[in-house]
């Protein structure tokens, strides 16, 4: 058995204290910036801050490519049958647009859940990959488009520098993009950086799936033929179905259904459409089928679920 020397133990203790100090400063700054419950936008468009003063029920949502760094509390994200947990020690990365069910599981009014969300730019990540002399190994075919990794000091330092810039708005246009590039660099060179490569490479399978997802977002209300979607992204139907499910945890048809239901929910909550009209707008010909599938995803019939949202003052 190898026994650490006193100097080694001292170095580890100093590193732990330094990391704790970074966490404390970041938590204090984020708590001050998150003035209200829910999502708080900032002066730098890719960066937003979430706050919750109590645990929540599972809430379905469509997540865009982003990295989520919790500074206080704990949350889970469910993709299909898989559940991913993230907290101040572990950050979440969503590499492609995905319908997930998010749930805050640790939060109190005195110590609210606080999370930094940074949107990812695949083109910028692709440009950075060209600059890296040694790229991480390619991801395996079973990799999900959502994963959790350990927070390290270099990434935490980069995020803290970006958050500090919010106190000096005049510096944001010049310095914030630099800080964001460093965050991308830390993600790419971290333990699971290889998971972002295929997203950014134009010939990669994950990039093709990202293109398929973009196509579905634009044509969610139209009937879907898997052969047509496969032709758009230059894959065989069987390869598309297999890889799409590997990345998203669901088939293209299931994915389209969730996009439809989320959009119908937004139309009813934000635009005041009746449930039958919203269902028809997103491609449902049968009101009963729309109501049945809506209830299966959101846990209640359309009118009842939207009424609960309005009563709770939540955003759809």
pLDDT, one tens digit per residue, over 87-131 is: 999 999 998 899 999 999 999 999 999 999 999 998 888 888 888
Whether the CB-CB separation of 183 and 158 falls below 8 Å is answered with yes
| pLDDT at site 177 | 96
C-alpha atoms less than 13 angstroms from C-alpha of 291 in its C-beta half-sphere: 11
CB atoms within 10 A of CB 17: 10
Whether the CB-CB separation of 74 and 87 falls below 8 Å is answered with yes
Q: How far apart are CA 213 and CA 310, in angstroms?
A: 30
- Mean pLDDT over 220-229 rounds to 94
H helix intervals, the chain = 6-33, 122-131, 153-164, 172-188, 197-200, 205-218, 226-232, 237-248, 252-270, 275-281, 287-298, 302-312
Helices 252-270/205-218 angle, 10° precision:
40
- Mean pLDDT over 159-170 rounds to 96
- pLDDT tens across 47-67, in order? 999 999 999 988 888 999 999
Residue 98 pairs in a beta bridge with: 63
| pLDDT at site 252 | 95
| pLDDT at site 142 | 46
Whether the CB-CB separation of 264 and 279 falls below 8 Å is answered with yes
- Mean pLDDT over 199-220 rounds to 81
Using a pLDDT cut of 70, give the percent of the chain over it: 87
Find, among 57, 82, 162, 80, the residue nearest to 116 by Cα.
162
Q: Is the pLDDT of residue 316 over 90?
A: no
| pLDDT at site 141 | 45
- Assign 3 a pLDDT band (cuts: 50, 70, 90): low
Find, among 86, 42, 296, the residue nearest to 180 by Cα.
42
| pLDDT at site 234 | 92
Q: How far apart are CA 173 and CA 144, in angstroms?
A: 34
- SS3 call for 194: helix
Dihedral of CA atoms 127, 132, 138, 139 in degrees, nearest 10, equals: -70
Please state whether beta strands 47-52 and 90-94 pair in parallel, antiparallel, or not at all (unpaired).
unpaired
């Amino acid at each position: 058995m190898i026994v650490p020397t006193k100097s080694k133990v001292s170095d580890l203790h100093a590193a732990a204290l330094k990391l704790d100090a970074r966490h404390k400063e970041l938590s204090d700054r984020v708590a001050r910036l998150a003035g209200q419950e829910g999502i708080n936008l900032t002066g730098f468009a890719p960066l937003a801050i979430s706050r919750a003063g109590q645990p929540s029920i599972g809430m379905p949502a469509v997540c865009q490519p982003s990295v989520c760094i919790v500074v206080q509390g704990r949350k889970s994200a469910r993709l299909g049958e898989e559940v991913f947990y993230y907290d101040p020690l572990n950050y979440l990365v969503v590499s492609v647009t995905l319908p997930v069910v998010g749930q805050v599981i640790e939060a109190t009014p005195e110590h609210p859940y606080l999370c930094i969300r940074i949107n990812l730019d695949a083109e910028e990540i692709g440009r950075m990959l060209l600059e890296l002399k040694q790229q991480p190994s390619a991801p395996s075919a079973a990799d999900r488009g959502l994963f959790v990794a350990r927070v390290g000091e270099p990434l935490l330092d980069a995020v803290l520098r970006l958050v500090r810039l919010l106190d000096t708005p005049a510096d944001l246009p010049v310095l914030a993009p630099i800080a964001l590039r460093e965050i991308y660099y830390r993600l790419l060179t971290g333990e699971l950086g290889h998971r972002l490569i295929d997203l950014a490479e134009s010939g990669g399978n994950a990039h093709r799936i990202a293109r398929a997802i973009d196509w579905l977002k634009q044509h969610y209300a139209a009937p879907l033929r898997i052969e047509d979607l496969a032709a758009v992204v230059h894959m065989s139907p069987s390869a598309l179905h297999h890889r799409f499910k590997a990345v998203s945890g669901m088939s293209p048809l299931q994915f389209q259904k969730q996009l439809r239901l989320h959009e119908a929910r937004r139309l009813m909550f934000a635009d005041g459409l009746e449930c039958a009209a919203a269902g028809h707008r997103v491609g449902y010909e049968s009101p009963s089928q729309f109501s049945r599938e809506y209830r299966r995803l959101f846990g209640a019939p359309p009118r009842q679920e939207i009424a609960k949202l309005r009563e709770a003052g939540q955003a759809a």
